[in-house]
Amino acid sequence: MDKYSNFKLKIAAKPSLFHGRTVRKAVGQSLWYRIRDHILQKDTPVCSICGFSPQPDEMRNLHLHEIEDYDFENIVVTLSGLNLICANCHAFHHFGFTQLYSSKEKMERLIEHFAKVNECEINDFKDYRRSLLFRRQPEAETKKTKTNLSFQDIKAGNYTVRYAIIGDIPFKDEVIDKLNKKGVYYQYK
């Protein structure tokens, strides 16, 4: 039983093989900003997790999180959707990165946010974080986690990550076109 299953805000971390590899980076800023603008105009600009609603001058605190799956065998990041979330909630979706690059004060503020959103105590957060250290990554349950890459290649970043797009995102055709031109589009049969 997972006693944390009622948490609205959860901790996730991207596998290191795919660090820094995103559709956003692959397609470039101008197309990505068009996608973001499109979503901001269509949807009510609120965090889909905690409900934070930014003032017009703090829209940059609303991020577009890429919902991803990872295929270690083919070295593919699958983008299955985009989620509007606030910077504070987003920090927990990339928790490895957040822990590395946040000051102690920032971490404390983030943990307070976590406790507020999940209506729990700071200690519950600590228990939850501890419980994750002993658990396999969720993707291990559904996807193959073995790669044929050598340790040296991984260490040197000597591999190409490709991207698959499933589900609907704005300007999907353009995104696929751009990935194709760069030779990094992957289509699942």
Compute the least distance from the CB of residue 14 to Zn ion, in Å.
Answer: 8
DSSP string, 139-165: HHHHS-------HHHHHHT-S--EEEE
Q: Is 33 helix (H, G, I), strand (E, B) or coil?
A: helix
Nearer to Zn ion, 1 or 96 (CB): 96
Quote the CA–CA distance of 168 and 175 in Å, as a whole number. Answer: 11
Residue 111 CA to residue 117 CA, distance in Å, equals 10
Pick 49 or 76: Cβ nearer Zn ion = 49
Closest distance to Zn ion from the beta carbon of 158 (Å) = 25
In angstroms, give the least distance from the CB of 82 to Zn ion. Answer: 9
Shortest separation between residue 117's beta carbon and Zn ion, angstroms: 7
Nearest CB to Zn ion, comparing residues 95 and 185? 95
Contact in structure between 150 and 173 (CB atoms under 8 Å): no
By C-beta, is 79 or 89 nearer to Zn ion?
89
Q: For residues 126 and 55, give the distance between their C-alpha atoms in angstroms, rounded to a whole number.
A: 32
Cβ partners under 8 Å of residue 29, min gap 6: none
End-to-end CA distance of the chain: 35
Which of residues 47 and 79 has its CB atom nearest to Zn ion in the complex?
Answer: 47
DSSP 22: -
CB of 169 to Zn ion, least distance (A): 14
Place of tokens 């050598």: 150
- SS3 call for 85: strand
Q: Please state the closest distance from residue 138 (CB atom) to Zn ion, in A.
A: 15
- Judged by the rule CB under 5 A, the positions of this chain that interact with Zn ion are 47, 49-50, 52, 65, 86, 89, 93
Q: Which residue's CB is nearer to Zn ion, number 16 or number 150?
A: 16
